[in-house]
Amino acid sequence: MKRGSISIVGAGPGDPELITLKALRRIQNADVILYDRLVNEELLNYAPSEAVRIYCGKAPGLHSMPQEATERLMIRHAAAGSHVVRLKGGDPFVFGRGGEEALSAAAAGIPYEVIPGITSAVGAAASAGIPLTHRGVAASFAIVTGSRCQAEDSPVRWEALAHSVDTLVIYMGVSKLGDIRKELLGHGKDPQTPVALIENGTTVRERTVTGTLGNIDKVAAAMKISNPAIIIMGEVVKVRAELLSLEEAVRSQIG
């Protein structure tokens, strides 16, 4: 029997063309693909027709398959000799639980590899015209999950994040936006801090709305922003407006 293996693969932020060549090759040679909710399903078309496709998606408050069950399934198929591709949105090691899956594979003695992907913070921000760093404006950024905004066991250190970095990127935070805003304002972050919400970043359904820390919860509610979306806070958000203004000026001159 052939020896199986596991490839823990980042599919990128949504646009199927943003997957890496190495990741695409693994999909093309897969026997089994276990894929997540935020993976663009167009990528599954590159797999062999006989490849087994298994959905393992997790939506907020609704998991189609518990993480432990996903890991057992991944290992079982690999132990039976299959090349398993564990296909994950963004990057496997950025809020993707890829580390847990690598540890699970290693503990089971299954050969594995991790193939990076463009994480949503980088991909969605760039697609929306927001540089996470910008000379003279921002020299640092932090990525944090908003889903644990007020978790008692491992709370987010909002008091440190409020002032220690130039740009703050928050995943899985739309449903907790009011709490996040309250925490940051309570720790002295300027209510005039620019904020952008990017929904369905890098896809044809991408939508970006902007405001300030003082009003972004009202903006999000008025515009009905929903997941998947990321939150970006910092002066770099203003670069988007500058780009749009310059583009409009060029168009008016041409017209």
146-191: pLDDT as tens digits: 976 555 566 899 999 999 999 999 999 999 999 999 999 999 999 9
pLDDT of residue 49: 97
What are the boundaries of each domain within the chain? 5-115, 120-242
**CA of 205: how far to CAs of 4, 132, 199, 222, in Å?**
38, 22, 8, 18
More confident residue, 183 or 255: 183
At residue 155, the pLDDT reads 80
Topology of the domain comprising 120-242: 3.30.950
Q: Which of 58, 166, 179, 223 is catalytic?
A: 58
Confidence tier at 58 by pLDDT (50, 70, 90) = confident
**Known active-site residue 1:** no
Predicted local distance difference test score (pLDDT) of residue 3: 79
**Of the listed 15, 36, 91, 217, which one is catalytic?**
36
Other Cβ atoms closer than 10 A to 137: 14
What's the pTM?
Answer: 0.92
d(CA 90, CA 92): 7
Given the residues 31, 88, 91, 172, the one annotated as active site: 172
Q: Sort strands 194-199 and 58-59 into parallel, antiparallel or unpaired.
A: unpaired
pLDDT at 57: 84
Q: Is residue 172 flagged as an active site residue?
A: yes
The correct answer on CATH 3.40.1010.10 for the domain covering 5-115 is yes
Closest CA to 88 of 118, 60, 63, 112: 118
For 54, the token pair is 């298994």
* Buried residues in 90-104 as b, exposed as e (16+ CB within 10 A): bbbbbbbbbeebbeb
Q: Report helix, strand or coil for 68.
A: helix
pLDDT for the residue 152:
59
The reply to whether 58 belongs to the active site is: yes
